[in-house]
Amino acid sequence: MSRWGMAIDLAKCVGCQACSVACSMENTRVPGENWHKVIFMNEGETGTKKFTWYPRPCQHCTEAPCTKVCPVRATWKRKEDGVVLINWYKCLGCRYCVMACPYGVRCYPEVKPLLEPDIKEVYHGRRAKLWDPPYQLSREEQDGKRGTGIPPKGVVTKCTFCAHRTDRKEMTPDRDPVKDRDFTPACVIACPASARYFGDIDNPESEVSKRVERKGAYRLREELGTKPQVFYVK
């Protein structure tokens, strides 16, 4: 079995948010629809405050609560690579998955605009599309069944581990951001500190598995038993 996973080295991460910007650019998200966020947190008491930042893509949980609660199986976990995706042709827009996700990674882009003018109005959507920006993924890369590209109105969206890029090539132990540039998630390529490792976490020979093994990785809200496929190492 193979599963895509990501290891994020927090000792290398500089909190520049290049990953968030790259994600929004690559996937053409509207302002506020943050598939990938960098969350700045305080550790310690007042006077001894220490900043830590957690880059937070979708955790692609092994036991994903979102797939269990979706009433119509619109959100699903792909068997081939363990990536959690949304089928926009089935999604009801009930947002139960948004409620169920303990990491707050899911978005409902059809809300009041974060910035004026509303970019959805500036590039008004045609043929049921939420909006129609001049720069977007190619027609082949836009696939509503796996939730890549511009969504229709009234559906939930989320990080796909850039499935439109990773799907172009068969599963490999690692995706090198330089050699495999076209087949690697945008956030991994954009990281200036090379703090991200993306590969098959079920393959013990992959770099991501070695990083997780060597550095004693941990996962967000591990107590919930969701078993995320995104690991943090320090």
Which residues contact other proteins (rule: CB under 8 A)? Answer: 32-34, 39-42, 51, 54, 56, 65, 68-74, 90-96, 98-104, 107-112, 152-156, 220-221, 224
Q: What is the closest distance, in whole angstroms, from the C-beta atom of residue 70 to other proteins in the complex?
A: 6
Q: How far apart are CA 8 and CA 195, in angstroms?
A: 6
Nearer Cβ to other proteins, position 106 or 164? 106
Nearer Cβ to other proteins, position 74 or 208? 74
Q: What is the closest distance, in whole angstroms, from the C-beta atom of residue 22 to other proteins in the complex?
A: 19
Nearer Cβ to other proteins, position 124 or 169? 124
Q: What is the closest distance, in whole angstroms, from the C-beta atom of residue 93 to other proteins in the complex?
A: 2
Q: What is the closest distance, in whole angstroms, from the C-beta atom of residue 88 to other proteins in the complex?
A: 9
Nearer Cβ to other proteins, position 143 or 180? 143
